[in-house]
Amino acid sequence: MKQVTSVAQLREAVAGLRGRTALVPTMGNLHEGHLTLVRRAREIADHVVVSIFVNPLQFDREQDLQAYPRTEEQDLDLLRSEGVELTFTPSTEAIYPHSMDVHTRVEVPGLSDIFCGESRPGHFVGVATIVCKLFNMVQPQAAVFGRKDFQQLLIIRRMVEDLAMPIEIAGVDTVREADGLAMSSRNNYLDPQQRKMAPALYHALQQTAEALRQGERHYAELEENATRLIAAAGMTPDYFSIRRASDLGTPAKSETGFVILGAAFLGMARLIDNLEVNL
């Protein structure tokens, strides 16, 4: 596996690849969920490039940026075991050579301003900017993202469509622990007691999904019930909402494709999750 740290090295390495290339952008601290993305990338492309970069532009709080776990050597070992050919591990200066304060930014209006975008102002501008930059640097034919970050996935798809990027965006189903908790690097922030409480968010999603399948369409009431369930489990709800899966719009009574989105605080962690319901 080749590791490069500069844009020039990256472009030179990519230029030597023949066939279809898939990019898996990550912030490191890799777990089984990330490796599932890598395996999907290998299925749809001849070559896999994985980036590891903790992007300062998408953090709304300096404390969160500093606390984000960095495990580069362990991450590289995992990627080697998965047969990844090329990794890109740039410095902040390599990505933002003129500093972030004056850097060109990419924004996807509307989708970026709700839910996680409202809770974390500027977050999705940071996400769209770094993903756009990585797409320009790697020039992949495909890129792979997890469906756990459903709002992010829609934003990236909209950006690719709006900017006419010839890139297939593949979404991979959420990978979960045995008790249903969505795998996330932020789960490392949970102490043993909090870890036992954390699956309550998923249970609330499951309960709401079943109600939709049974024909319940009082969306506000379902959201309120789920919020109470999450709070009763000892978590602090951020948001819980039933939306149209295609664009996060408010669903009609006749809707057949839903996504249920939830986020909650637990100790130092802010957990997010979702469930899609297709009738």
Binding site per annotation, positions: 27-34, 58, 146-149, 152, 175, 183-186
Give me the sheet containing 257-266, strands edge to edge: 236-244, 257-266, 269-278
Annotated catalytic, 34?
yes
Backbone region of residue 103 per phi and psi (left: phi > 0; alpha: psi in -120 to 50; beta: other values): beta
Annotated binding site for ATP: 27-34, 146-149, 175, 183-186
Nearest to 223 by CA among 263, 269, 194: 263
Q: Indicate the annotated binding residues for (R)-pantoate.
A: 58, 152
Q: How many CB atoms lie within 10 A of CB 50?
A: 29
Please choose, from the candidates 172, 130, 180, the residue with its C-alpha nearest in 3D space to the C-alpha of residue 149: 172
Q: What kind and span of H or E run contains 270?
A: strand 269-278
Give the whole-angstrom CA distance, residue 185 versus residue 29.
Answer: 6
**Which candidate in 34, 47, 103, 218 is catalytic?**
34
Catalytic residues, by residue number, are 34
